[in-house]
Structure 1
Amino acid sequence: MNRTTRRLADGREILYFDADGSTAAHDAEDTRDLPPVSTRSQLRHDALLGEWVVVAAHRQTRTFLPPADQCPLCPSRPGRPSEVPDSDYQVVVFENRFPSLATGVDTDVPPTAPGAPFAELRPGFGRCEVVLFTSDHDQHFAGLGRDRARLVVDVWAERTAELSAIDGVEQVFCFENSGEEIGVTLSHPHGQIYAYPFVTPRVERVLASVRRHRETTGGDLFAEVVEAERTGPRVVAANDSWVAFVPAAARWPYEVQLFPTRRVPDLPALDDAQRDDLAAIYLDVLGRFAHRFDTPMPYIASWNQAPVREGREDWWLHLQLFSLRRAPGKLKYLAGSESGMGAFITDTNPEDVAEQLRAVVVP
């Protein structure tokens, strides 16, 4: 994999990634007249839940559903400069123009929120990156092909390793939102990477469950779950290095988890064979999501990686892939029980969903 580093007009970093053998120079200049990026994020601690909330009010003016001919993620063309100065690219990563977290954030914040002595405040330190999977605006991840998907896997791993090395970063999260129903504001095929200055609530809860299981039974909860699911009724696809299954207590109408069959803490720890097999099985499962109904399912792909420091020896890398689609033309809305109490009520049966996805014929 070849990497080329450049700067955009406002000073943000842009990285071009090309498969080995590429001779692209990526030397086009960003000709736009851009104001400096202004980031006023802060972290506020919810004392009752014990969780951090990112307050990023400056993001209200971010780009929202532009027409295809004004997409800021397509390559630049004469008279229409974009976020990518070059006229073509394979995979590109750049710092978000409207970041929730940033390394250059204002550090002058009071210790607590106004009138709330228990709501600790911290600067919104971190980094938010955008990952462009292809220059083709009308493409989607399921149609990238195995070579491009493998390049994206390598980019995720490279960025995870580099962001994890930033002092103050505690967790790196790679993800993709796909479909307007999910809340996507730019339709070009892309994902994002967040480098958090804290360990996220989901990862903290999973680690607590793993440790509690070990203390009470002496067992390895991750290993036992993976072993049981590999031979269970909810397997959707599998290969030499990975298994994809609908979790027994799935929260979402269509949800699949992908686990490597050998424990690794994060994407950088995957070897070449695991990365090849990941590209293959991920495209397989995404294809099933795309063809389960007459239109592709909107989805979120969420990489659950080990924290940078704590709990790495206990963690098992995995991907959550889930959709709000519960039936043709129908979405699962997170209403009172889910949004208010965090108690999920599912509209589908996990075993039935696995059977339906196995039956999908991908062209």
Structure 2
Amino acid sequence: MIRTSRRLADGREIVYYDADGSTASRDAVDPRDLPPVSTQSQLRWDALLGEWVVYAAHRQTRTFLPPADECPLCPTRPGRPPTEVPESDYQVVVFENRFPSLATAVEPDVPPAAPGAPYAQLRPGFGRCEVVVFTSEHDRAPADLDVARLRLLVDVWADRTAELSAIEGVEYVFPFENHGEEIGVTLSHPHGQVYGYSSLPPRAERVLASVRKHREATGGDLFAEVVAAERGGPRVVTVGEHWTAFVPAAARWPYELQLFPHRRVPDLPALADAERDSLAEVLKDCLGRFAHRFDEPMNYIAAWNQAPVRRGRDDWWLHLQLFSLRRAPGKLKYLAGSESGMGVFISDTSPEDVAARLREVELP
């Protein structure tokens, strides 16, 4: 993999990733006259739930579903306004978000607490938000990318995880993809994001607590026991040389897969080359099943669950959640009263049936 770092007109970093053997020089200059990026992000502590909430009001003006000829993720080409990517073509490119929820240059001075709420502690919205563009082709769905491109993408995720983990103050690195308007994407060009959080997200905290509680109660390894049971169970959808994808027994979403490596590793940088090869193949298979389960491709979220940067790493097992809100043709799963109000998911699908339906999908 060839990695080339440059700067955009407002000083943001942009990094081009090309497969070995590429002769691209990546010397194009951003011609735009851009104001400096300014963020007013804050974190507020919810004392009752014990969770941080991010406030980023400056994002209200970000680009929202522009026409294809105005897409900011397409390459910069003659006859069209310059985009976020100065080059006329690229393979995979990563750049700092122009409208970040979290930023390393955020205003550090904030009051100790929210007005009139002494328990709502405030913190600067420190972190880093990056955009990962999977291809220069605007209308190419992630499921249509070949295995070689997905393999390059795995290396990019691993590289960005290592880079963000090295930032002082970043405690958790989260690569993810939102796909489909129903999910809430604001740009239709195939892309994902990487967030560097200054604290552990609630999901990571809860998983670590469950692993430790299980060890204290039984002496066992909860991750290892779950993975072993699922790999031999009825919900397996596809198996690669080093990865298995299955519908979890307590799936929350109508269509949900978890992809686990057969060897315990804490995060993407820890994967060996053969494991990365296998991941690209299994991911291609799973994305294809989501794309062809119904007459129209399913919206989805792909969320990497990695070990925290500094603590709990020996307890963690890297895995990917791939889930959709689509429960049937023309029908979405909405997070209504029970889910949104109380956090209790009620599923309209059976994990065993979902696994069977996904196994039956005929891939092109």
TM-score interval, smaller chain = over 0.9
Please name the residue that 1:134 is paired with. Answer: 135
Pairing 1:35–2:38 present: no
Letter in 2 for 1:235: V
Match of 1:70 in 2: 70
Helix, strand or coil at the partner of 2:45: strand
Structure 2 Cα separation of the partners of residues 204 and 271 of structure 1: 27
Measured after TM superposition, the shift of residue 139 of structure 1 is 0.5
So what's the TM-score if we normalise by structure 1? 0.99
Structure 2 match to 1:358: 359
State the match for 1:13 in structure 2. 13
Rounded Cα–Cα distance in structure 1 between residues aligned with 2:287 and 2:218: 36
2:275 maps to 274
Determine if the alignment matches structure 1 residue 344 to structure 2 residue 352.
no
| Equivalent residue runs for 1:284-299 within 5 Å | 284-299=285-300
**In structure 1, C-alpha distance between the alignment counterparts of 2:241 and 2:21, rounded to whole Å:** 28
Instruction: Please give the TM-score of this superposition, normalised by the length of structure 2.
Output: 0.99
Cα distance in 1 between the residues matched to 2:269 and 2:45:
30
> Is 2:172 the partner of 1:153?
no
User: Which residue in 1 is equivalent to 2:112?
Assistant: 111
Separation in 2, partners of 1:333, 1:13: 37
Q: CA–CA distance in 1 between the matches of 2:224 and 2:138?
A: 40
In structure 2, C-alpha distance between the alignment counterparts of 1:162 and 1:140, rounded to whole Å: 27
* Residue type of the alignment partner of 2:292: H
Cα distance, 1:159 vs structure 2: 0.5
Q: CA deviation digits over 1:48-85, x for unaligned, max 9? A: 11100111000000000000111000000124200000
Q: Give the secondary-structure state (helix, strand or coil) at the position aligned to 2:309.
A: coil
1:10 partner letter: D
Q: Aligned to 1:85, what secondary structure does the other structure show?
A: coil
SS in 1 for 2:345: coil
**In 1, distance between residues paired with 2:251 and 2:197?**
26
Q: Which residue identity lines up with residue 45 of structure 1 in the other structure?
A: W
Task: Give the Å deviation of 1:33.
Answer: 1.3
Q: CA deviation at 1:304?
A: 0.2
Looking at structure 1, the residues matched to 332 and 214 of structure 2 have their Cα atoms a distance apart, in angstroms, of 35
SS in 1 for 2:3: strand
- The one-character-per-residue Cα deviations of 1:100-158 (angstroms, maximum 9, x if unpaired) are 00000000101111111111111101000000000000101111101110000000000
**Counterpart of 1:72 in structure 2: which amino acid?**
P
Whichever residue aligns with residue 6 of structure 1, its letter is: R
Structure 1: any 5+ residue segments left out of the alignment?
none
The alignment partner of 1:34 has SS state of coil
Q: Distance in 2 between matches of 1:160 and 1:247?
A: 26
1:246-304 CA distance string (max 9 Å, x none): 00010000000000011000000000000000000001011000000000000000000
Instruction: Name 2:166's counterpart in structure 1.
Output: 165
The aligned counterpart of 1:307 is 308
- Uncovered stretches (5+) of structure 2, i.e. residues with no partner: none
Q: How many residues align?
A: 363
Letter in 1 for 2:13: E
Q: Deviation digits for residues 189-226 of structure 1, max 9, x if unmatched?
A: 00000000000000000000000000001100000000
CA RMSD, aligned part only?
0.5
CA distance in 2: counterparts of 1:284 and 1:143, whole angstroms: 10
Q: Which amino acid aligns with 2:32?
A: R
Letter in 1 for 2:280: A
- Runs (4+) of structure 1 moved beyond 2 Å? none
